[in-house]
Copies of this chain bind each other. A is one copy, B any other.
Amino acid sequence: MESARKQEIIAEAAQLFATRGYHATSMRDLAKALALQGGSLYSHIDSKEELLWLIVDEAASQFLAMLHAVTASDTPPEATLRDAVRGHVGVIANDLAAATVYFHEWRFLTEPRRSAFLARRRDYEARFRQIVAAAVVDSPAVDPKWATTLILSATNWLYQWYDPAGPLPPDELADRYITMLFHGILMPQPVP
């Protein structure tokens, strides 16, 4: 667990990286936003890239912890997938700045952090795919790999437009998506 001060620095860095982009944010910008002396900032953080890593690593941990919780209970496959989609949307909606960095700015990581990040994301996607595969086992026309890509693509995009102050709570949004993804947009009648 990071100290409260370090958490605050990481959260502010996520805001700046998400808004301006990683490359366009300097450590001086960050110190200024936090009303800190530059030297004081460096007593908490070694480098700008360390901040980038801490943001995406924490987001990866949240996604994975959510999947662990979802799969720990003994629910039927479709309900597990519903919970996973809700959870995925929830992690994004809960911290849009961190999600923006996780989905976009990660590409500015250098090795070995870049490979470490990609391994964590692949691990998450593989676990998510297992949940999808169990849910679509009776749907021979559906390839779990592409169903997973469709679901994660549609929900990842939330970081671009979702407004936490808007009228639609994350769970309701997830449920709208789930209904369409499960039953199709051409479904002839309301789903019970």
Residues A143 and B183 in contact in the complex (CB < 8 Å), given A21-B22, A23-B24, A153-B154: no
What residues of chain B lie closer than 8 Å to A177, measured between beta carbons?
146, 150
Residue A5 lies at the interface, judged by CB distance under 8 Å to chain B: no
* Contact for A138 among B153, B154, B188, CB less than 8 A: B188
CB of A179 within 8 A of CB of B104, answer no
Residues A186 and B135 in contact in the complex (CB < 8 Å), given A23-B21, A157-B157, A158-B153: yes
What residues of chain B lie closer than 8 Å to A191, measured between beta carbons?
141
What residues of chain B lie closer than 8 Å to A158, measured between beta carbons?
153
CB of B21 within 8 A of CB of A139, answer no
CB of A150 within 8 A of CB of B180, answer yes
Interface extent on A, as a size class? 35 or more
- The smallest C-beta distance from A159 to any residue of chain B, in angstroms, reads 10
Taking CB as reference atom, which chain B residue is nearest A187? Answer: B139
What residues of chain B lie closer than 8 Å to A155, measured between beta carbons?
153
The 3 A-B residue pairs with the shortest CB-CB distance in the complex, in nearest-first order = A23-B24, A184-B184, A153-B157
Known: A139-B187, A141-B183, A147-B180. 20 other contacts (CB 8 A): A21-B21, A21-B108, A23-B23, A78-B186, A103-B160, A135-B186, A139-B185, A140-B189, A141-B189, A141-B191, A142-B180, A146-B176, A150-B154, A150-B180, A150-B185, A153-B153, A153-B158, A156-B157, A181-B184, A183-B186
